Amino acid sequence: MAVHEILKMGDARLLRLAQPVSSLALGSAKLHQLVADMFDTMQAVNGAGLAAPQIGVDWQLVIFGSGQVNPRYPDAPTVPVTVLINPVITPVGDEEEEGWEGCLSVPGLRGVVPRFKRIRYQGLAPDGSAIDRTVDGFHARVVQHECDHLIGKLYPMRVRDYSRFGFTEVLFPGLDAAEDD
Ligand code: ZN
């Protein structure tokens, strides 16, 4: 079990364009260790997803999903546990949907972010096998949020209406204080 420190907004490492994972790294012990550490880190803070740059690793790799209800997003549908490497996202249609987001790198805040309602995402699993899914709703939102970390984008950069961006404890006073983002 290795829980890593999660970098916070303001750290320049969150603003990089992440490097593709080379085919040599696929299936490697180093990659498997990174993925295990990322799941430990994400689960320690009940995250819905985590991108490698959030723990300072300059790789195009994200994890997301829980397969069970996330206490931070109790009303959200479950998303399959996924490791996605070198992802490519293609919007399916141009319909957008607004939804509240938080980020482990932006603790204590939430904001409404417009995202494509439906997307296709493609990439690789850690063993090099292909992932190709078309999804919508919360699943699509999580993937877009996580993959944004690979191009140096944090969700506050996507907020359009700053009247719906603020501190979680003020916006949602009923939320458990332990769930601070
Ligand atoms: Zn995030």
The DSSP symbol for 162 reads: G
Mean pLDDT over the full length of the chain: 93
Closest to 103 (Cα-Cα) out of 62, 154, 52, 166: 154
Tokens of 45: 């803070």
Ligand 1 centre from 83 Cα, in Å? Answer: 15
- AA identity, residue 154: L
pLDDT in tens, 73-110: 677 778 999 999 999 999 999 999 999 999 999 999 99
Q: What is the pLDDT of residue 77?
A: 73
Which entry of 95, 97, 101, 146 is annotated as an active-site residue? 146
pLDDT tens-place string over residues 6-45: 999 999 999 999 999 999 999 999 999 999 999 999 999 9
CA distance 46 to 49: 9
Q: CA 51 to CA 91: how far, in whole Å?
A: 20
At the top level of CATH, which class does the domain 12-171 belong to? alpha beta
pLDDT computed for residue 143 by the predictor: 98
Instruction: List the domain boundaries for the chain.
Output: 12-171
Q: How far does residue 62's CA lie from ligand 1's centre (Å)?
A: 10
Picking from 45, 139, 33, 148, the residue whose alpha carbon sits closest to that of residue 87 is 148
Q: Check pLDDT > 70 for residue 48.
A: yes
Please give the distance, rounded to the nearest whole angstrom, from the Cα atom of residue 103 to the centre of ligand 1: 4
- pTM for this entry: 0.93
Reference 70, options 149, 161, 162, 176; nearest CA is: 176
Pair 165, 155: CB distance under 8 Å: no
pLDDT band for 124, please (50, 70, 90 cuts). Answer: very high
pLDDT of residue 180: 41
Task: Tell how far the Cα of 128 is from the centroid of ligand 1, in angstroms.
Answer: 25
Distance in Å, CA 144 to ligand 1 centroid: 10
The one-letter amino acid at 23? S
pLDDT level of residue 137 (50, 70, 90 thresholds): very high
Q: Give the residue ranges of DSSP H helices in 45-181.
A: 137-148, 168-171
Q: Is 146 a known active-site residue?
A: yes
**Residue at 32: amino acid letter:** H
* Mean pLDDT, residues 36-65 taken together: 96
Q: How far is the CA of 61 from the centre of ligand 1 (A)?
A: 13
Rounded to whole angstroms, what are the CA distances from 65 to 82, 116, 162, 174?
6, 18, 28, 24
Confidence band for 69, pLDDT divided at 50, 70 and 90 = low
Give residues with Cβ within 8 angstroms of 104, minimum separation 6: 6, 42, 45, 47, 50, 54, 181
**Predicted confidence band of residue 146 (pLDDT cuts 50, 70, 90):** very high
In this structure, are residues 40 and 3 in contact, taking their beta carbons and an 8 Å threshold? yes
